[in-house]
């Protein structure tokens, strides 16, 4: 019977994607955060115009990474919120087929 309602498989895939993203972001963000904090806190190269420019560039890149990754995460969260909790068995089979074919 294809009209029976089942859990929406896209929700599980999107939840898994969010978990993977969070893990990657938790690993990636400190790569720029610590150096930016060290340079901004005077623990590293200081006292020249080049040092100030380097710090400004590093801080800008760090902020860009946070903004872009936060925006990407928001896109996936919104996609998850837009998905119904359940779909028909037929819809779930079609979603599974589409997923397997990369659509």
More confident residue, 74 or 28: 74
Distance CA 22, CA 48 (A): 37
Residue 87 phi, psi dihedral angles, 5° rounding? -135, 170
Q: Render pLDDT for 38-60 as a digit per residue (tens, 0 to 9).
A: 776 666 666 778 877 888 888 88
Least confident among 6-15, 26-35, 39-48, 65-74 = 39-48
Q: In total, how many domains does the chain have?
A: 1
The pLDDT of residue 39 is 73
Q: How is residue 81 annotated by DSSP?
A: H
The pLDDT of residue 2 is 60
The pLDDT of residue 26 is 87
Q: Which domain holds residue 52?
A: 5-100
pLDDT exceeds 80 at position 27 = yes
Q: How many CA atoms lie within 13 A of 95 on its CB side?
A: 18
Q: Render pLDDT for 59-92 as a digit per residue (tens, 0 to 9).
A: 888 888 888 888 999 999 999 999 999 999 999 9
């Amino acid at each position: 019977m294809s009209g029976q309602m089942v859990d929406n498989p896209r929700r599980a895939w999107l939840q898994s994607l969010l978990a993977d993203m969070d893990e990657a972001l938790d690993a990636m963000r400190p790569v720029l955060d610590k150096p930016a904090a060290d340079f901004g806190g005077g623990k590293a190269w200081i006292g020249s115009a080049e040092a100030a420019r380097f710090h400004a560039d590093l801080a800008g890149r760090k902020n860009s990474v946070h903004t872009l990754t936060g925006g990407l995460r928001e896109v996936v969260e919104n996609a998850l919120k837009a998905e119904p909790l359940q779909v028909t068995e037929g819809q779930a089979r079609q979603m599974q087929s589409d997923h397997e074919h990369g659509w």
